[in-house]
Each structure stands twice: as C-alpha cells, then as structure tokens.
Chain A
Amino acid sequence: MENYLIAMCVSAGIYALMALGVNVVWGFAGMVNLGLVGFFAVGAYASALLTIKAHWAIAGGMAAATIVAALVGAVVALITVRLRGDYLAIVTLGFAETIRIVASNAIWLTNGTDGLSGIPGPGRGTLSPEMFNLVYLAIVGVIVAIAYVMNERLRASPFGRVLRAIRDDEQVAAVAGKHVTLFKVKAFAISSAALGLAGALYAHYTSYIAPDIFVPLLTLYIKLALLAGGLGNDRGAIVGAFAVVFLLESTRFVIPYVPGITPVQGAAIREFLIAAFLLVMLRYKPTGLVPEQPTRLPVPPAPRYQPTA
C-alpha cells in the first residue's frame, strides 16, 4: 500500500510540475496551450535518447530536456505569435499530434511505435523498488518545490505583471510600451521548460516511453488539474494536480462496491465520474479550489495640489 501511495504521489508531482508550467502561459498570460503533451514528449525523448544512446548522466539528460523543450516552446510561440484563443488552441493541439507522429515514424531515432525501453533511473536495479520510489519522490518533491518558488517570484515580478496585463488586454499592454511578442515567447519558453523537465522525470521514472503515452488525454488531465485548483494560482496548480490523481485513483477502490455492475460498466462509470467532476467544478466553482487572489499594489497617495505662489 505505501509503495502504491508513493508511486501515486510521484505521478501527482509530475502532474503538478506540468500544471505549474502551463499556469505561466495559460494562467498568467491567458494563452491556451492544448499541445502541452507535445512539450512533455519532447523532454521525455530528449532525456531518454541522451542517456541511452549518448550515455549521458541522468541529471545531464534532464537539464538538456529542459533546454530543448524551452527552445521548441520558443519556436512554437514565434510561429503562433499572431494567433489567439481558439486558433492558438487548435494549432498547439496540432503541434502535439505532429510530435507524436514524428516519434512514431522516425524509427531510426525513436524506435517508432515499439517505444524506448530500459531508460535508466537513479538507483534503479541497485535499490529495492520501494527505495527507488522513495528516492524518486524526494527528487520530484524538490523539483516541484523549486518550480513553485520560481513561479511565485515570477508572478510577483514586473514580468508577471506584464503577462497578466497581456492576458487582460494585449493592446493596452502594447500601448504601455511593452514588447508583447517578446513577453509571449519568453512565457512560452519558460512554460515549455517545465513541461520538458516533467517529461524527463516521467521517462526516468517508468523506464519506458512510446508515442502512445503522449495522447491528448494527458493534456486534459492537466487542464482539469488547473481548473480544479484555480487558474493563475500556483498553490492551486499543485492542489489541483493532487486532486486529479486522487480522483482518478480513488474511483478504482469505490467502483467494486457498486453492486451488480460488470468491470466494463465500472470502467465506463470511472470515466463518467471524471467528466462529471469537471462539469460540476466549472458550474459551481469556476475559480477553482484555491481562487487566484487579485494582486493589490499599494497606491501612493496622490500629491496634494499646491498652488504655486
């Protein structure tokens, strides 16, 4: 049982890192990225290939995955710079599918649909499976904590303020002298970096990746986590990620006690519950479990008008 709980916490931690990353573009800057699983895949493949084929250290692979994903994110942001709202969503969705199809067909590099197995993990094989899980949980925990602190600093900084200004009204931000494109590209790169690192963490944890893992379902889980936790809010992103994993997993234990249903019906009910949860959230608590607090800047008292003599 403990081992299972630890493994689920690792999953939730990886989801949380992704949610924190997406929060930068979606929550702060208001850009909808439905292709987040594509950046996750880029990070996973980058780190897996570097550690398997080029025999890099795991930490090196993860660092490279972060950088590669950030660069890909910047390129995608430049391509989509004139798109907003639904159009941006569709193009990023297409980007993720492109990555998946490339991974399926570039067999010389990615081993195609067979996937890459035997990706090394820190201490895998020498530690017991339980110890390995614990060590990994510690690594994921530290990374999520760092990402959280960095995100919080980002949010409070002038940079974060500009992103929120872009979210609320791009033109006003531009009129105020902000280089909107540059801010968007930077935000996308930062966000993708977190997604890429999450991908690398996933690859080294499970030791196996294949194109079939990087399907839009995972994107939806992260969106759900952000909506549940509270968009634009870093604590909410983490709370939401854990809530989603709890929801996915707890239904597993409840369904067998519903009398008179077959396993197939049980599986369908589980999927239904997840959809129902999202709808109920959006209807009754659209701001999420931890709503975003409006930032209040101290307004200096207006200087009193002093007539000149």
Chain B
Amino acid sequence: MPQTPREPRRRFLASAGALALGGLAPALVRAQGEALQLGVLTPLTGAGGFDGPRMAKAMQAVIDEVNGNGGLLGRKIVLVVEDGQTNPEAAVRAARKLIDVTKVPAIMGTWASAVTSAVAPLCWESKTFLTTVSGADSITKLPHQGYLIRTQPNNHLQAGKHAEFIASMGVKRCFMMSIQAPFAQPTQSRATEVLKEKGSQMVGTLIYDKDKTTYRSEVDQALRANPDLIYLNGYAPDVTILLRDLYRAGYGGKRFAQSYAVTTKVLDSLPHEVTEGVITVQPSADVTSPAYELAKKRLGVAEPDSYETQATDWASLVSLAIAKAKTPTGTGIRDSVRSICQGSGQKVYSAVEGLKLLAQGKDINYEGASGPCDFTEIGDITDCKFRYNKVENGKFVLLKVA
C-alpha cells in the first residue's frame, strides 16, 4: 500500500516537465511575431516589490489605451514584463533576455540605483532605450549616449528645490544633519549654495552615523549654531531618534525632513508634541495637470503617486517617440524623444491625443502626469513638483504642491 501514491506523483512530475518543455518552444517562435514588443523591467520581488507592480500596471493601462485606439505604427503593442528582483545581478540577466531574445527597442522601469547602473551599459551597448526612477546623481553622468532618461528628480534638483522652499518660509539660519550616504555631501553643498542665493544662510552641517541609539552630541552641536530650521536628511529609524532628542533638548524651531524619513509609522511611534509642526517633502505628481486627471481615471486610483505617474509618462513618451521616428528602434526613440516632449509644439496630455496629432503631421509637446517631462542633454528632468506636508496632531496636513 505505501507504494501506491508514488505512481501518480511520478506521472505528475513527468507531465509537468513535458508541459514546461512544450511551453518553451512557442515562446521562441512568438517572440518574432507581429506585435510591437516593449520591455518592462520593474522590481516585482525584493525591496522594490511595493512600487514595481504598480508601475507595471500604470504602463499597461497606457498601452491598453493606445491599443484601443489603433495601436502604434499600425501594430498592437505588447508589454513584456520581466522581474528585476531589486538585484543588479538578476536584473542584468533579465535585461539580456529582453534585449537579445525579445529584441525590445526600450526597457522601462528600473527602480534601484544599483540596478539601473548595472543595466544601463547593456542598454547603450545594444542601442536600447532605458527609462528609470533611480535618483542617484551618478546615473545620468554615465556615458549613455542619450539612451537613458529619468523622470525622477536627482539629488541636485531636489536639494535646490528644498532650499528654495526653506528660504521662502522666511528661515534665516538653517542647519543640516545628514546620514552617512552617497547623497549626504552633494545635498548639503547644493542646499548651502541655493540658500545663500535666496538671502538665507546655512549656519552649519554635520554627517552622522546610522544605527545609533542616541544623537545627543549631534543635537548639541546643531543647537550651538542657533538655527531656526533644522533639515533632518536621514531615514526613518535615525530621524525618529533625532526628533526625540531635539524635543528633549528643548529645541523650538522648525524641522524639515523627507517624507520617507517621517512616515505615518514614525508619527505613531512618537508622542504628538514631539512631531508637532514637522514639515515633510516628497517629489510629487503634477496634481494640477490634465494628464494627472487622465491617469486617475485610467488607473481607477484616487491619488496616483509619483511612481505610477512616472510610469504613465514613460509608456506615453516611448510610444510617441516611436510614432515620431516612424520606426521602433532604440536609436529612433533616442533621436526623437525630445522632439515630442519639449519645445513649441501643441501641448498634449496623453499618448492617444499625441498620436492623433502626430498622424496629422503636427508638432507636439507632451506634458506628463509626473511633471512637464522636459529633459536636459544628459537625460535629467529640468523641473518637477514637490509636495509639502505639515504634521498637526500626529497627522499629515497638506501645505502645498509646488
């Protein structure tokens, strides 16, 4: 009797194996079919597993809309989605498959900076266009020959915008405490520069180590400079401790931090009097743009976030650039992308709208859901909106989007 269960199990394994091998063959044949295939390489597992799937969904929604309106160059678009696993080594293998087997002209969606830096060389060597949300300044400085754009503001742009906002609040003496990270030094020097331009002043900066249980000595050092605003440029665990230590030290001035450092979880873990009045900032979708309204409807989401709107814009930009170039190649996209998203053409807010005008031979200027989508020569965006929140009674209250 104990022998009987073995037989069906073996048969199952055999049939599963046959199915797997059988599946392989048509995949290779269909890769050369009629549809126009575009690559998506978002993290579906790992640290980026929260943002990646939503980004893929947002791209699919745009592509469905384009397909519903006659497709691109008379062909249907198919998104081929691979998992970047938030891991550079795995992402490189996935990118190789997209480039060499599926032969996509564009890969959209790398999230972590290390993944983007690892995948980018494959892309420019094989003349494949890459769009990304990674923020590290070093990425657009790679020798990518124009085969890369990013819709995420880099540190330089962010630091400048933050400093402008701080100066606009009437702050005269700003102090900055940064965690030891690649962005620490560049953010401090850029903020110092812009504060000075705007008639304010950086009275001091320091860089602290992560994973400490107290930051009393750092807080004392900051308070000696007598600032009326302290910019806490760290992550949630250390900023939680800094807020507590600042409160204990009796600091009554303003505090400013990135939204990922002061999350709702941080607010829940600290008493309300400790967090009262903290101002947070994050890159924001352009909530006033008609493109944002369209994205809301398309996705059926009340407030699409920065990542979803950026993904919306990639799918639109790549489709429009292919239509403009009249050929689905990476080089075509590279050469024509700036002619459909900036300049004096007619403003359009969706891919479908733009495709219609392009078909009529008109010039267009795509304005995205994440922002105006104007790019510098090295592929950085020139402008972006930021969302400023203030903590009141343990809750976030919107100050403004600007």
Q: State the A residues within 8 Å of B (CB).
A: 1-4, 7-8, 11, 105, 107, 112-115, 117-118, 129, 206-208, 210-213, 215, 217-218, 248-250, 252-254, 256-257, 262-264, 266-268, 270-271
Cβ of B342 within 8 Å of any chain A Cβ, yes or no, is no
Cβ of B27 within 8 Å of any chain A Cβ, yes or no, is yes
- Determine the distance from Cα of A7 to Cα of B100 in the docked complex, in whole angstroms: 9
Say whether B126 contacts A129, CB under 8 Å. Answer: yes
Say whether A1 contacts B28, CB under 8 Å. Answer: yes
Say whether A210 contacts B44, CB under 8 Å. Answer: no
Chain B residues 189-217 with CB under 8 Å of chain A are: none
Say whether A252 contacts B100, CB under 8 Å. Answer: no
Which of B24, B44, B96, B121 touches A253 (beta carbons < 8 Å)? B24
* A114 and B113 in contact, given A105-B180, A250-B20, A267-B44 (Cβ under 8 angstroms): yes
Number of interchain pairs (Cβ within 8 Å):
110
- Determine the distance from Cα of A308 to Cα of B194 in the docked complex, in whole angstroms: 105
* The stretch of B85-93, B146-154, B283-291, B391-399 that contacts the partner chain: B85-93
Interface SS majority for chain A: helix
A-B CB contact pairs (8 Å), 13 listed: A2-B100, A4-B101, A112-B182, A113-B114, A113-B181, A117-B121, A212-B87, A248-B93, A250-B24, A252-B97, A253-B28, A254-B24, A262-B53
In the complex, which residues of chain A have a beta carbon less than 8 angstroms from the beta carbon of B182?
Answer: 107, 112-114
In the complex, which residues of chain A have a beta carbon less than 8 angstroms from the beta carbon of B89?
Answer: 213, 218
Say whether B97 contacts A213, CB under 8 Å. Answer: no
Say whether B121 contacts A207, CB under 8 Å. Answer: yes
Which of B81, B88, B142 has the most chain A CB atoms closer than 10 A to its own CB? B88
- Determine the distance from Cα of A215 to Cα of B205 in the docked complex, in whole angstroms: 33
Which of B87, B90, B121 touches A206 (beta carbons < 8 Å)? B121
In the complex, which residues of chain B have a beta carbon less than 8 angstroms from the beta carbon of A263?
Answer: 40, 44, 53, 56, 81, 83
Which of A11, A117, A211, A257 touches B142 (beta carbons < 8 Å)? A117
B134 CB, nearest partner CB in chain A, Å = 10
Q: Which 9 A-B pairs have the closest CB atoms?
A: A4-B100, A267-B44, A267-B83, A263-B81, A212-B114, A210-B114, A253-B27, A3-B100, A254-B23
B51 CB, nearest partner CB in chain A, Å = 12
B353 CB, nearest partner CB in chain A, Å = 27
Cβ of B112 within 8 Å of any chain A Cβ, yes or no, is yes
Measured CB to CB, the nearest residue on chain B to A284 is: B13
In the complex, which residues of chain A have a beta carbon less than 8 angstroms from the beta carbon of B143?
Answer: 118
* A1 and B23 in contact, given A114-B113, A213-B87 (Cβ under 8 angstroms): no
- Determine the distance from Cα of A165 to Cα of B44 in the docked complex, in whole angstroms: 46
Interface SS majority for chain B: helix
In the complex, which residues of chain B have a beta carbon less than 8 angstroms from the beta carbon of A114?
Answer: 113, 117, 136, 138, 182
In the complex, which residues of chain B have a beta carbon less than 8 angstroms from the beta carbon of A8?
Answer: 93, 96
In the complex, which residues of chain B have a beta carbon less than 8 angstroms from the beta carbon of A250?
Answer: 20, 24
- Determine the distance from Cα of A250 to Cα of B28 in the docked complex, in whole angstroms: 11
Given contacts A1-B101, A113-B114, A211-B114, list 14 more A-B pairs with CB under 8 A: A4-B96, A4-B97, A4-B99, A112-B182, A113-B182, A210-B118, A248-B93, A250-B24, A257-B26, A263-B81, A266-B44, A266-B83, A267-B45, A268-B45
B9 CB, nearest partner CB in chain A, Å = 10
Which of B23, B87, B142 touches A217 (beta carbons < 8 Å)? B87
Chain B residues 87-143 with CB under 8 Å of chain A are: 87-90, 92-94, 96-97, 99-101, 112-115, 117-118, 120-121, 125-126, 136, 138, 142-143
- Determine the distance from Cα of A8 to Cα of B44 in the docked complex, in whole angstroms: 22
Measured CB to CB, the nearest residue on chain A to B19 is: A254
A93 CB, nearest partner CB in chain B, Å = 18
In the complex, which residues of chain A have a beta carbon less than 8 angstroms from the beta carbon of B180?
Answer: 105
Cβ of B82 within 8 Å of any chain A Cβ, yes or no, is yes
A254 CB, nearest partner CB in chain B, Å = 4
Measured CB to CB, the nearest residue on chain B to A252 is: B97
In the complex, which residues of chain B have a beta carbon less than 8 angstroms from the beta carbon of A218?
Answer: 89
In the complex, which residues of chain B have a beta carbon less than 8 angstroms from the beta carbon of A208?
Answer: 88, 117-118, 120-121
B188 CB, nearest partner CB in chain A, Å = 14
* A117 and B96 in contact, given A213-B88, A268-B45 (Cβ under 8 angstroms): no
Measured CB to CB, the nearest residue on chain A to B118 is: A208
Mark B172-191 against chain A: 1 for CB-CB distance below 8 A, else 0.
Answer: 00000000111000000000
In the complex, which residues of chain B have a beta carbon less than 8 angstroms from the beta carbon of A211?
Answer: 114
Say whether B88 contacts A212, CB under 8 Å. Answer: yes
- Determine the distance from Cα of A217 to Cα of B40 in the docked complex, in whole angstroms: 23
- Determine the distance from Cα of A271 to Cα of B23 in the docked complex, in whole angstroms: 18
B92 CB, nearest partner CB in chain A, Å = 6
